[in-house]
Amino acid sequence: MNDEKPAKPVRHLLGLSGGKDSSALAIYLRDRIPEMEYFFADTGAELPETLEYIDLLEDYLGKPIAKLNARRDFDYYLKLHNNYLPSPRQRWCTINLKLLPFENYVGNDEVISYIAIRADEPSRAGYLSTKPNIKTCFPFKDDGLNKEDITQILEESGLGLPKYYSWRSRSGCYFCFFQRREEWVGLKKHHPDLYERAKEYEKGEGESGKVYTWSQAGTLDDIVNRAESAPEQKKTTPRSKKLIDRFSDSDDDKDSDESCLICTL
Ligand code: SF4
């Protein structure tokens, strides 16, 4: 008699960020990989529109989306980092609030993690787990799907884009430092309470009296005031601009392709 336990089946996991690409990938693979497990690493600082979209997606997929939480919240890790706000070079937020919860969720299981990098962004790189039991798979890249295909998938599903795409080009925390100037303006307009909270973090603490800012360009109020006093045509997205062009806007931003794959795809 063989006492060996049967090998645990490989898990198929798809992380949702509340962004367009991972959402489209979930829709694309729903019927192709019925055993897929979906998860969303909630930083506790997500936009309400993101949470709303995750709920809609859950209904569409017909399966629960596991909500992963970090062991501690953002404020805890901020203190741990001497109140230094995270930045593109100091991405402790991604590691603690997104990556580690994912790795804990996986444990030692053999996993295939499906990543929504498109065929038209071959050079995109970001934070991916390097644990040996986690293999990555890039279905959009492998199948040659680009931006237009993603738009089509979302439109045909009836889900469309999350509402924040009218003023912001990617998902992620409301205070994410990858936001462009216009997006901070959008945050102030659409979520004045969250804008105020983001500002609170800039106060800093401690004897040095040092003020930490989300952007090297100055405090949020500096950035927003400059944007609001800029010529009108630079502030607004033309009404005729199509969905797909708004996606392109984010690709113009130097930092966008370096932003977290796990946060914003
Ligand atoms: S969305 Fe931005 S602020 Fe939030 S964890 Fe990712 S990089 Fe950090």
Residue 49 contacts residue 175 (beta carbons within 8 Å): no
CA distance 95 to 27: 27
Q: Is residue 58 part of a domain?
A: yes
Residue 15 contacts residue 21 (beta carbons within 8 Å): no
Tell me how far the alpha carbon of residue 17 lies from the centroid of ligand 1, in angstroms.
Answer: 11
Mutate to test the pocket of ligand 1, among 93, 177, 250, 262 (most ligand atoms within 8 A of CB): 93
Tell me how far the alpha carbon of residue 178 lies from the centroid of ligand 1, in angstroms.
Answer: 8
Mutate to test the pocket of ligand 1, among 40, 43, 175 (most ligand atoms within 8 A of CB): 43
Tell me how far the alpha carbon of residue 136 lies from the centroid of ligand 1, in angstroms.
Answer: 21
**Cα maximum dimension of the chain:** 80
Sheet of 11-15, strands arranged across:
65-69, 37-42, 11-15, 111-114, 134-137
Tell me how far the alpha carbon of residue 96 lies from the centroid of ligand 1, in angstroms.
Answer: 10
Q: Is residue 35 part of a domain?
A: yes
Q: Closest Cα to atom 5, ligand 1: which residue?
A: 94
Pocket of ligand 1 (CB under 6 A): 43, 86, 91, 93-94, 97-98, 172-173, 176, 178, 260, 263
Which residue's structure tokens are 């991405």?
91
CB under 8 A, 24+ apart: contacts of 1-10? 8/109, 8/110, 9/35, 10/109, 10/110, 10/111, 10/112
Q: Is residue 3 part of a domain?
A: no
Q: Is residue 40 part of a domain?
A: yes
Burial class (CB within 10 angstroms; exposed 0-12, middle 13-18, buried 19+) of 63: middle
Q: Is residue 157 part of a domain?
A: yes
Tell me how far the alpha carbon of residue 231 lies from the centroid of ligand 1, in angstroms.
Answer: 30
Tell me how far the alpha carbon of residue 47 lies from the centroid of ligand 1, in angstroms.
Answer: 12
Q: Is residue 5 part of a domain?
A: no
Residue 45 contacts residue 174 (beta carbons within 8 Å): yes
CATH number at residue 50: 3.40.50.620
Q: Is residue 2 part of a domain?
A: no
Q: Closest Cα to atom 2, ligand 1: which residue?
A: 176
Can you give the pLDDT at residue 134? Answer: 93
Domain residues for 177? 11-264
Q: Closest Cα to atom 4, ligand 1: which residue?
A: 173
Tell me how far the alpha carbon of residue 89 lies from the centroid of ligand 1, in angstroms.
Answer: 12
Print pLDDT tens along the chain (265 aa).
567 777 889 999 999 999 999 999 999 999 999 999 999 999 999 999 999 999 999 999 999 999 999 999 999 999 999 889 999 889 999 999 999 999 999 999 999 999 999 999 867 665 667 789 999 999 999 999 999 999 999 999 999 999 999 999 889 999 999 999 999 999 999 999 999 999 999 976 656 667 789 998 899 999 999 988 876 655 444 443 333 333 333 333 444 444 556 666 6
Can you give the pLDDT at residue 206? Answer: 57
**Given the CA of residue 45, which atom of ligand 1 is nearest to it?**
4
Tell me how far the alpha carbon of residue 56 lies from the centroid of ligand 1, in angstroms.
Answer: 22
Q: Is residue 232 part of a domain?
A: yes
Tally the domains of the chain: 1
Can you give the pLDDT at residue 259? Answer: 52
Mutate to test the pocket of ligand 1, among 98, 169, 213 (most ligand atoms within 8 A of CB): 98
